[in-house]
Structure 1
Amino acid sequence: MSRPLLGLILLNEKYFSELRRNLISNQDPEQQQTLNACFEKLMEGVEQNLLIKNRDRFTQNMSIFKRDVTETLRICTTANTPVDMMS
């Protein structure tokens, strides 16, 4: 899934930037900085081409991105879930 995604990101960088901004701005303020860093790391070391080495790099970054975003959202969900004192 990540290989076609890189092509789409490179093809329409403006839309990707807008999507990124919207996704981050719709999160809690304490999550916004962390999610911004996740997006920064997603494109770290990725060049403006579709060479195999570049696609592999993006795929590795995408795995890390998925893990980090999942963890960030899980922590926030856990922190905002009321504790049931009766259980």
Structure 2
Amino acid sequence: MSDADVPTEPAAAEATGVAAIEERATTVRDEQVQRAVATLDARGDVTPEKRAAVERLATRLTARLTAPAERALRQTGSGDDEVARVALALFGED
């Protein structure tokens, strides 16, 4: 997302930033869960319980890692969209 894509309205910038963080985090989380489960499966070591444990761990880690950036975006109500730009740069696509 380029600077031109970041909305100028504070609420819009906040919503765009939070949505971008959540989307990227979900994508990475799902890819890594799939990879971990495939590794366990290749060893014949995957069970429904282990799969669920991997998914829970990934979800918790993702939430904990993205929470500070999402919180900062939600608290930015001053019209300063620099926070949105930084968040999008940090959590943007590869």
Q: Structure 2 length as normaliser, TM-score?
A: 0.39
Tell me which of the two structures has the higher relative contact order, counting C-alpha pairs closer than 8 angstroms and 6 or more residues apart.
Answer: 2
TM-score normalized by structure 1?
Answer: 0.41
Q: Which has the larger radius of gyration?
A: 2
